[in-house]
Amino acid sequence: MTRWLPRTYLTLVYLLLYVPILVLVVFSFNDSRSGYAWGGLSLRWYEALFNNRAMVQAMWNSLWLALSAATVSTVIGALTALALHRYRFRGKQVLNGMLFVVMMSPEIVLAISLLGLFLLVGLQLGYVSLLLAHVTFCLPFVVITVMARLSGFDERLPEAARDLGASDFTMTRTVLIPVIMPALLAGWLLGFTLSLDDVVVSTFVGGPSYEILPLRIYSMVRVGLKPEVNALGTLLLVFSLVMLMLSQWILLRSKR
Amino acid sequence: MKQTLLSLSNLSKQFDGKTVLDSLDLEILDGEFITLLGPSGCGKTTLLRLMAGFEHPDDGSITLAGQNLTHTPPEHRPLNTVFQNYALFPHMSVFDNVAYGLKMEKRPKDEIRQRVDDALAMVQLEDFARRKPHQLSGGQQQRVAIARAVIKRPKMLLLDEPLSALDYKLRRTMQVELKRLQRELGITFVFVTHDQEEALSMSDRVVVLKDGRVQQLGTPREVYERPANLFTARFVGETNFFAGRVDAANGDDTITVDVFGLKRTFRKPDFQVFEGQPLHVLLRPEDIRVLAPDSDDGVAGKVVERNYKGSTLDSVIHLDDGTEVLASEFFDEDDPTFDYRLGEPVKVSWVDGWEWLLPEEDADAEAEASADA
């Protein structure tokens, strides 16, 4: 009794987590048009997916947007974290708290306010508006990730580097950045993922000139679940797994 | 005669309105092993950080071999630091850590390799060049930190409590090692510690610091045997303080002092004395003689504590007037049964001439000195 209870519980939890994903993967190889009946193995939905030029374009758009949003927010976020960590200035606490406000505020509020802002300044809705919006919501996550790493950072390391003849810039390049690299990487990946699957903000600030994947899927599903979406989902899953393994591999290497 | 290498003059530093260094003057000689000794918060680490260039003085100047360094950034000062927790670069191998200073000088690769190998050989870590710092023991990390700091052949090495993270035995080994390195390299070592034993055993000269001021500067022997004030006496080693009163200033460079009602004849101290003046008679525990209760000499008391220390027997004796006396006696080979029972009545005495006299300081200073030490 005491033995099988925890096991059953654990099995249930994992089933709950993985069965939907498993169903999605299995049905992406299904030869049947219906999403609910098995019709044998086939790659036809993958074929259909890659023949759907709008879909492929949306995929590239999404990847490019996530890549640029993650990179921009990592650069700005890392600098912000460094400033917050290193200097004492007036309003530091307020600035710090404001990061959490952005993080905690409902996405819909952020979406509406960003849209309002873009319309006010007359910005054409498209790649630039999406990038600005995505950087906005990614930024706090990057700052907090990097700050966490910096809080455990030995303050003597920069001093040791300076003591041995490094200028402030050289010290940053050869000591500070390598040491906080895992946090930069983690922040970047977090930003990348957040950007890639964002729907709410993108719905508001996106424009017809730059269609991205989540919105494309969303509009596809509205007219009925196509098996193509399963294929797409599977590809995204594989992609995220590869990214995850890559980041783990880099982290492990940096520890060695 | 050794020449002055670094001179600090009138150095002052405040942090948030709290004075850490108070117009401090200090001359450090070329090639010496000098220790900054004091309790935490005495300003010793701040002083070291000012020399290294990590902090800037509010006032005063730092001059190294005639060159004013007061506002020079750390990377342009010809001195290097060994940090308390080593501060090794965690993402670099031992080799790259040690090579860092030379890479900053943009030395040719072959020269770097040669010099790093030599430095690692000097600290007996040739076989560890490719390891990462976290794969080394505390003592090995310490050696890497030293090799890294001396590779640029600095004029001066600053060591900020470098041994405090090591266990007792390793610390003793590293103390000997550091002394050997200093002799071999001929570099001036400025060593910061709060451990008075370490300071006495390693240094050519000791600077005793308190509240950002130099309390005493002298050889370990001077600091231990002839403390300049009550603070130094209390902080460096253990001391018995007996209240005395000048009975008479004799013509022949001696004075008669009344201690515990006994008239003892002491050497005349450096400071002015007058009849009836109260003073402190200082005696180190090893200067105390414990005698049989029926001897003619000495003050009566009883043993309240005994501590077997291997080579010595340390005891605490309560005198009849309430004074506590620490005594530390070597075992007498002729008397294998030498020991005390608790409560055993004894008499306490000392050899006149082994005492050290200090004038009374004002009450605040005395209370503070005993609190710090």
- Within 70-89 of B, beta carbons closer than 8 Å to A belong to 73-76, 80-81, 83-85, 87-89
Give B149's contacts in chain A (Cβ within 8 Å): 163-164
Residue of B81, B89, B97 best to disrupt the A interface, most CBs of A under 10 A? B89
Residue B154 domain-assigned (yes or no)? yes
Across the interface, do A161 and B89 touch by the CB < 8 Å criterion? yes
Element (H, E) at B93: none
Look at residue A95 and tell me whether its pLDDT is greater than 80.
Answer: yes
Q: Give residues with Cβ within 8 angstroms of A148, minimum separation 6.
A: A183
Q: Which residues of A touch B104 (CB under 8 A)?
A: 164-166, 170
- CA–CA dist A149, A159 (Å, integer): 18
The per-residue pLDDT for B289 is 87
Q: In sequence order, what DSSP letters do the residues of B143-205 get, joined into one string?
A: HHHHHHHHTT--SEEEEESTTTTS-HHHHHHHHHHHHHHHHHH--EEEEEES-HHHHHHH-SE
Arithmetic mean of pLDDT, A179-204: 90
Q: Does the interface predicted TM-score (ipTM) exceed 0.85?
A: no
Residues in A closer than 8 angstroms to B83, CB to CB, are 156, 159-160
In a shared domain, residues B89 and B167: yes
Residue A100 identity: F
Tell me the mean pLDDT in the region A91-113: 89
CB B267 within 8 A of CB B353: yes
The answer to whether the CB atoms of A256 and B132 lie below 8 A apart is yes
Residues A27-34 have a mean pLDDT of 81
Question: In angstroms, rounded to a whole number, what is the distance separating the alpha carbons of residues B215 and B192?
Answer: 15
The domain in which residue B216 lies consists of: 4-234
Residues B221 and B113 in one domain: yes
Considering the domain architecture, whether residues B177 and B76 belong to the same structural domain is answered as yes
**Under CATH, which architecture does the A53-254 domain have?**
Orthogonal Bundle (1.10)
**pLDDT: which is higher, B9 or A230:** B9
Structure confidence at residue B25 (pLDDT)? 93
Which of B216, B234, B252 terminates a domain? The answer is: B234
Task: Tell me how close the Cα of A82 comes to any Cα of chain B, in angstroms.
Answer: 19
A33 pLDDT higher than 80: no
B272 assigned to some structural domain: no
Indicate the length of chain B as a whole number.
Answer: 373
pLDDT number for residue B361: 80
Instruction: Assess whether pLDDT exceeds 90 at residue A230.
Output: no
Q: Among A16, A11, A150, which Cα is nearest to A83's?
A: A150
**Whether the predicted pLDDT of A166 surpasses 80:** yes
| pLDDT value of residue B158 | 96
User: Distances in Å between the alpha carbon of A138 and those of A99, A131, A141, A195?
Assistant: 10, 10, 6, 7
Most B-contacting residue of A149, A153, A155, A164 (CB-CB within 10 A), to test interface: A164
Nearest-CA neighbor of B70 among B58, B61, B78? B61
Nearest-5° angle of CA A136, CA A140, CA A144? Answer: 160
3-state class (DSSP) for residue B132: coil
Query: What does residue B117 show for φ and ψ, rounded to 5 degrees?
Result: -60, -45
Number of domains in chain B: 2
- Note whether residue B14 is domain-resident: yes
Residue-level pLDDT at B108:
95
Closest CA–CA distance from residue A170 to any residue of chain B (Å): 9
The yes-or-no verdict on residue A198 having pLDDT over 80 is yes
At B117 the pLDDT is 95
Nearest to B133 by CA among B98, B181, B170, B168: B98
Domain limits, chain A: 1-41, 53-254
Q: State chain A's mean pLDDT as an integer.
A: 88
Average pLDDT over residues A94-109: 88
Predicted confidence at residue A236, as pLDDT, reads 86
Is the pLDDT reported for residue A225 higher than 60?
Answer: yes
CATH number, residue B71: 3.40.50.300
Return the structure tokens found at A114.
Answer: 């960003």
pLDDT of residue A239: 87
pLDDT 10s digits, A132-149: 999 999 999 999 989 988
Spans of chain B, pLDDT less than 50? none
Which among A157, A181, A256 has CB closest to B89? A157
> Are residues A160 and B104, on separate chains, in Cβ contact within 8 Å?
no
**Alpha helices (runs of H) in chain A, residue ranges in sequence order:** 4-28, 44-51, 53-86, 92-104, 107-121, 127-151, 156-163, 168-171, 177-196, 200-205, 213-222, 227-255
Q: Mind telling me how many Å the CA of A164 is from chain B's nearest CA?
A: 5
In the prediction, which pLDDT does B253 show? Answer: 83
Check whether residue B342 and residue B211 sit in a common domain: no
Supply the pLDDT for residue A136: 94
| Chains A & B: contacts with CB separation below 8 Å | 64
pLDDT of res. A139:
94
Q: Locate tokens 């190998």: which residue?
A: B117
Asked if A47 has any chain B CB less than 8 Å from its own CB, the reply is no
Please give the backbone phi and psi of residue A44, each rounded to the nearest 5 degrees, phi first.
Answer: -65, -30
Q: Do A159 and B81 touch (CB under 8 A)?
A: yes
B289 in helix, strand or coil? strand
Q: A164 and B104 in contact by Cβ < 8 A?
A: yes
CATH number at residue B312: 2.40.50.140
Residues of chain A with Cβ-Cβ distance to B75 below 8 Å are 162-167
Residue B20 and residue B151 share a domain: yes
Confirm or reject contact between A162 and chain B (CB < 8 A).
yes
Q: Of B48, B56, B75, B81, which to mutate for an interface test with A (greatest number of A Cβ within 10 Å)?
A: B75
Contacts of A165 in chain B (CB under 8 A): 75-76, 101, 104-105, 152
The reported pLDDT for the residue numbered B364 is 59
